[in-house]
Structure 1
Amino acid sequence: MNAPFKPAASPAGFAESPLAQALRQPLMLGLFLPIQKGGWSPSALPRTTSWEFDYNLDLTRTAEALGFDLVFGLSQWMPKGYYGSALEYREDSLDPFITVAAMSRATERIILISTIHVLYGPWHPLHLAKFGATLDHISGGRWGVNIVTGFEPGEAQMFGKPQIPHDSRYEMADEFTCFMEELWAAQDNLTSEGRHWKLDNAFVSPKSRFARPILVNAAGSEAGLSFAARHSDIVFITSPAGADIDKALVALPDYIAGIKRRGRALGRDLKVLINPMIVCKATDAEAQQYYDDIAGAADEAALDAIMRRYGSADTKTWGAHDRARRAVGGNVQIIGSPETVANRLADLKAAGCDGVQIAFFDFAPDLAYFGETVLPALKTMGLRL
């Protein structure tokens, strides 16, 4: 770019912004919406979970009523039959950008995060800056974007393009995001030229009440974490020690401290979210049986495809995650009674997590049970206001 990068201020700096209000919570609560068939669990055990919009809107409204701070949607570009699954695992999926745009007028308070592969297809920074500014205005500052670069070669192929090398993807994403931030901040027409994109008398309106939309990044590599430190309000992490909660809790403190040091070196206060899969019943034994039933009904072909996907791509975040736990899913897994679940969430907070982005197996009833049993315990423990 032909001028020093001048980022827009973070919405976290505005006391009345939805992000600042969420950050007042000792432990932020998010819901990882199952907008793809099967959610995170390629299991045939019967359940209500659905990828369809009305189901996910109902989940979002329930989460909002329970006081959750945000919801989050995954993005995927997969060819038909990718998982080879008898369950047709993830054969149907909604686009998260369109989904949360529709939800923005059907909700009032909850933050809505879209995952977007900014390097796929014909995206230009001006497009997403304009679309994001519009949705930020419609939602009252509740929209954010999880910027991802795409680790799956087959996804890039769907757009007729070869996979871009890992660090080059983040160099491109950095330029893309710099342009967006400058467009959101600019009070006059902007002309600038980078290695991959250029602007000529470009302008974006409306301007956000809170400087810009919320920026999120799902990262684990050196290049990804450097990008997150430069741009993100929230960093969405994967456990570097796998999904076993005990192993994760050993590894997470140093890992998260390193991420936050990167932010402080740039004068930025990064917040960290992790994705626990919560399997909760009245007793630890009942919860373990529920977990075993889910895993016991695994679609083996889908599990094989999941492991091939992580093994063949250049993602840096899933190397320690084993096949046996993928039938249930999650970055970390919390299995137990409401008391056990609440204590494990407290452990994640103590390890440095500022929030959790929760997934369930049977979303609607499991979310309701969480609200009835775990949420009161979190409030008693001082983790929720």
Structure 2
Amino acid sequence: MPHIRFGIWAPVHGNRAAAHDPLEPYDASWEHNRDTVLEAEALGYDATLVAQHTVNPHFAERDQLDSWTATAALAAVTSRIELISAIKPGLFHPVVLAKMALQIEEISGGRFGLNLVNAWNHAEFEKAGLPFPEHDARYAYGREWLSVVRRLIGGETVTHRGDHFTVDDYTLRPASRHRARPRIYLGGESEPARALAADLSDVWFINGQPLDSVEALIRDLKARPRAGAPLGFGLSAFVIARETEAEAKAEHRRLIELAEKDKPAKAIQASNTDPNVVMFQTMAQRSFVGTNGGTAAGLVGSYDQVAERIDAFSRVGVELFMLQFQPLRAEQRRFAEEIFPRFGRAANPSRPALKSEAL
């Protein structure tokens, strides 16, 4: 059976499917995030993704936990789970960000990964007086940014002259004591994103969508020239798993109905979204709940059906499933108890702390 890793989205801006759910009051607090990730680690999940927004992208009046300070704190209280923090290059100079990344790598004992995202919420930048270039220009900036960060977190002494950055004889210490460097994840499905993923990332995150679409995306990336180790693939997906398919579909309908109450917020989000972002173009063609494709990946059904669909995604190349649930804590427990055993692993396994693989 192909090796599969399971991760969860940390609730840094609360619920993923519907904001007005009586079964899950809105909570983006540090305490809720800490307890959720600690429980996920105890259950045997392999990773958590901590999304980055300076303000809540859905409800401006609601709380939003900061990604990088939260990830540093999580590094200090966890012992095994991989901590993946998202980063928008336009918000941090590459030298500053690389130093932060190496510090979290040190605190975590080699369990840190950074997830470069190109950004889609222009209001987040413009209201702060920050530039928000057009789509392809953001990727050109991100490519140069990542090329500097990648070398710095790898322990190199960097001198760089580019269109956006000048770096002179810069070395960051301590470099990773555990492996060559932290793992680099990259999200985005446009052509510039795919090219950047093939050239400079270790794992490419794909938004939730049907198996045939995911297979085509993976086939495209695998066909591209690449130096070094093969590219890995991750998939975002919202899971609704129950004893029977009918029960899962009933819960799906409940969340769809609740999500109707979020339409005013989604309209504001749409007005703040760069229309050239491929993720939103793709998602507009499908009905789903959750974010980043959510239930469009089809992980809605009986326990056996969900396991079979995960296995099918794995067989076309998906190695890491970054999962969303609602209510989060109850459903991540259910998934561990019911789905983990179908892949030969038990919830709450007794095993030594994960030593991050050498890159």
The normalised TM-score by structure 2 is: 0.87
1:153 aligns with 2:122: yes
Q: What corresponds to 2:37 in structure 1?
A: 60
Structure 1 residue runs without a partner (length 5+) = 1-23
Aligned residue runs from structure 1 range 215-364, under 5 A:
215-239=184-208, 243=209, 248-262=210-224, 264-298=225-259, 299=261, 300-310=263-273, 312-322=274-284, 325-333=287-295, 334-364=299-329
Matched with 1:18 is: none
Partner Cα separation in structure 2 for residue 160 and residue 227 of structure 1: 27
Length, aligned pairs only? 342
How does 1:81-230 map onto structure 2 within 5 Å? 83=58, 88=59, 91-120=62-91, 123-186=92-155, 188=157, 190-209=158-177, 210-230=179-199
SS of equivalent residue, structure 2 residue 85: strand
Aligned partners of 1:379, 1:132: CA distance in 2, in Å? 33
Distance in structure 2 (CA, Å) of the matches to 1:185 and 1:53: 30
The Cα offsets for residues 199-247 of structure 1, whole Å up to 9 and x where unpaired, read as 12322100112121111111101101111111111111124xxx4xxxx
> Given the superposition, is the C-alpha separation of residues 148 and 341 from structure 1 closer, same or farther in structure 2, using an over 3 Å criterion?
same
Deviation at 1:185, TM superposition (A): 3.8
**Structure 2 Cα separation of the partners of residues 281 and 148 of structure 1:** 33
CA pair 324-186 structure 1, distance change in 2 beyond 3 A: closer
Instruction: Kindly indicate whether the alpha-carbon contact (under 8 Å) linking 1:72 and 1:114 is maintained by their aligned counterparts in 2.
Output: yes
Partners in 2 of 1:202 and 1:332 — Cα distance? 41
Change (3 A) 1:306 1:279: farther
Q: Does 1:367 align with 2:328?
A: no
For 1:302, the aligned partner's letter is A
* CA separation of 1:324 and 1:212: change in aligned 2, threshold 3 A: closer
Give me the whole-angstrom Cα distance separating, in 1, the residues matched to 2:237 and 2:120: 22
Instruction: Give, in whole Å, the separation in 2 of the partners of 1:303 and 1:216.
Output: 27
State the AA in 1 paired with 2:167: L
Mapped to 2, the partners of 1:330 and 1:157 lie a distance apart of 23
Query: Gaps spanning 5+ residues in structure 2: where?
Result: 352-359
CA distance in 2: counterparts of 1:215 and 1:289, whole angstroms: 38
Kept in 2, the 8 Å contact 1:307–1:323? The answer is no
Residue 47 of structure 1 is matched in structure 2 by 24
Contact 1:303 1:326 in 2 (8 A): no
Equivalent pairs: percent with the same residue? Answer: 25
| Pair 1:329–1:171, CA change in 2 (3 A) | closer
